[in-house]
Amino acid sequence: MGRCPSCGAWETLVEELRAAAATGRALDLVVVDGKRTDVVQLGEVDTSGTARIETGIAELDRVLGGGLVPGSVVLLAGEPGVGKSTLALQVAAELKSNAPVLYVTGEESLEQLRLRADRLPKVPAELLVMAETRVEAMQAPWLEYSPAVVVIDSIQTLRTDRAESAPGSVTQVRECAAALSNAAKSQRTALLLVGHVTKDGAVAGPRVLEHLVDVVLGFEGDRGHAFRLLRASKNRFGSTQEVGVFTMTERGLEGVPNPSELFLAERRAGAAGSCIAPIVEGTRPMLVEIQALVASAGYGTARRTTIGFDDGRLALLLAALDRKSDVDVLSSDVYVNVAGGVRISEPGSDLAVALALASSQLNKPLPADVAACGEIGLGGEIRRVARIDLRVREAIRLGFRRVLIPAGVELPAAIEKEADLIRVDDVAAAVSWLRASSFRE
Ligand code: TYD
Ligand code: MG
């Protein structure tokens, strides 16, 4: 069949070979290999063996929940060029374990791997490396060296004799991952699988792996910017709330304990169309600069272009501004950019975006010591968002003395004392505050 009868897309069906036909005898499975798996009571399960191995990379350990769990499988997914191989190699370099790391590359030659390692600090000369794409070939070294961690770069290049389709196909990827994951569990090795995804997540590979692995890490970032964000979308051993922040430098990835400083480094205070938004990723607050440009439209429909911000949300904010305040933006071209290559995925920056838009349209810069947080609803009302206390504290830490927040939010007295909190209940109020404000350094 060329066309999927379910979703209607063309050429998306993938051949899968059927395993040996079932015999049809009831409960045959129970006696297949004569081995019995014991049933035990939950309380008797021993967890003392699950000590974690620290990777030595603080931002990664934070996301993993303290380190790699022996016998677990971690998928590190991201677009090509984002830095997956670099991170994997740095794990190999920093790992806090006496047992060795085995780094299997199916993408690069050993020479290329060596050249990359030479750029990074501290990759040990003893690191075990292997250029191989056949899963079966990993059996011997795995048993011989008993590595603490095996890195597979990447899962899409592997193939196994158990499946006949081409490397990278769904069947191959799944069979290889299943075989490796069994080996990891039986040898108590932590397995780090590198997987490529494209911008729209189109490559099926990593998607089919998500239920097979224990932890799914997504590595995000724009190749044009140095900033990288590591998120767990699934974690059987920890929270999915933490994010890791890195910058890509000449000497590999460096953790960024205080991302706000990084994002605000190039800010030009006093420019119209710029507003600072304290956002929260997981449990980490960070300040980002929202830039907006409202320009008179040429012929035809007005353009809306966003980088790092959701198009749908922008449309909503423009409509709310137009109907609920006296700023006219609907007929103009509108550009919104989140500086530094950050992608905002939460509504807490709505108010800052609206203020940046109004500031650009009115050609009136916001005061340099102002930040704003709050969600904007369809009625133009400013709504509460999670962790306003964290956001305001971060703003204060970076020297912002005035913060616009949703009306009705109560914050601890200590915060109230340190910052001038401006409570606004709708966009109209925020815009009239902007009109009345005067720029001060
Ligand atoms: P890479 O880890 O190969 O990405 P992936 O495995 O996800 O495809 O690295 C991506 C980019 O990082 C590459 O274009 C070169 C750059 N890079 C640095 O800027 N500094 C470094 O120290 C290294 C090793 C790479
Ligand atoms: Mg790579």
Nearest CA to ligand 1 atom 15: 81
Whether 80 lines ligand 1, by a CB cut-off of 6 Å, is yes
pLDDT tens digit sequence for 37-96: 788 888 888 777 668 899 999 999 999 999 999 999 999 999 899 999 999 999 988 998
Task: Among 257, 276, 301, give the residue marking a domain's end.
Answer: 257
Nearest 5°: phi and psi at 172?
-60, -50
Is residue 2 assigned to a domain?
no
CA of 86 to the centre of ligand 1 (A): 6
Ligand with an atom nearest the CA of residue 106:
2
Closest CA to 117 of 81, 90, 82, 84: 90
Is residue 69 assigned to a domain?
yes
Closest CA to 411 of 393, 434, 399: 393
Residues 300 and 197 in one domain: no
Is residue 327 assigned to a domain?
yes
Residue with tokens 């380190």: 67
Closest CA to 287 of 262, 269, 311, 310: 262
Task: Among 203, 236, 257, give the residue marking a domain's end.
Answer: 257
Whether 90 lines ligand 1, by a CB cut-off of 6 Å, is no
CA distance 296 to 357: 13
Number of domains in the chain: 2
- Number of Cβ within 10 Å of residue 77's Cβ equals 27
**CA of 88, closest atom in ligand 1:** 2
Is residue 12 assigned to a domain?
no
Residues 225 and 125 in one domain: yes
CA distance 188 to 186: 6
Task: Among 200, 231, 257, give the residue marking a domain's end.
Answer: 257
Q: What is the pLDDT of residue 24?
A: 54
Which stretches of the chain score pLDDT less than 70?
18-36, 49-50, 199-206, 439-441
Instruction: Collect residues with CB below 5 Å from ion ligand 2.
Output: 85
Residues 154 and 232 in one domain: yes
From 119, 193, 222, 248, the mutation candidate for ligand 1 (largest count of ligand atoms within 8 A of CB) is 248
Dihedral of the alpha carbons of 431, 436, 439, 441, in degrees to the nearest 10: -100
CA distance 170 to 66: 32
Residues 228 and 292 in one domain: no
Closest CA to 104 of 189, 207, 228: 189
SS3 160: coil
- Number of Cβ within 10 Å of residue 364's Cβ equals 15
CA of 251 to the centre of ligand 2 (A): 16
Nearest CA to ligand 1 atom 11: 81
**CA of 79, closest atom in ligand 1:** 7
CA of 79 to the centre of ligand 2 (A): 9
Q: What is the pLDDT of residue 7?
A: 86
Q: What is the pLDDT of residue 110?
A: 95
Whether 85 lines ligand 1, by a CB cut-off of 6 Å, is yes
Dihedral of the alpha carbons of 427, 429, 430, 434, in degrees to the nearest 10: 130
Q: What is the pLDDT of residue 51?
A: 83
Q: Apex CA 67: angle with CA 155 and CA 106, to 5°?
A: 20
Q: What is the pLDDT of residue 25?
A: 55
Name the token pair of 315: 């449309």
Domain containing residue 409: 262-436
Tell me which H or E stretch contains 294: strand 284-296
Q: What is the pLDDT of residue 33?
A: 57
CATH number for the domain spanning 211: value is: 3.40.50.300
Enter the pTM of the model.
Answer: 0.79
Q: Are strands 274-281 and 284-296 parallel, antiparallel or unpaired?
A: antiparallel
Nearest CA to ligand 1 atom 1: 83
CA of 229 to the centre of ligand 2 (A): 17
Q: What is the pLDDT of residue 441?
A: 47
CA distance 155 to 73: 12
Q: What is the pLDDT of residue 376?
A: 96
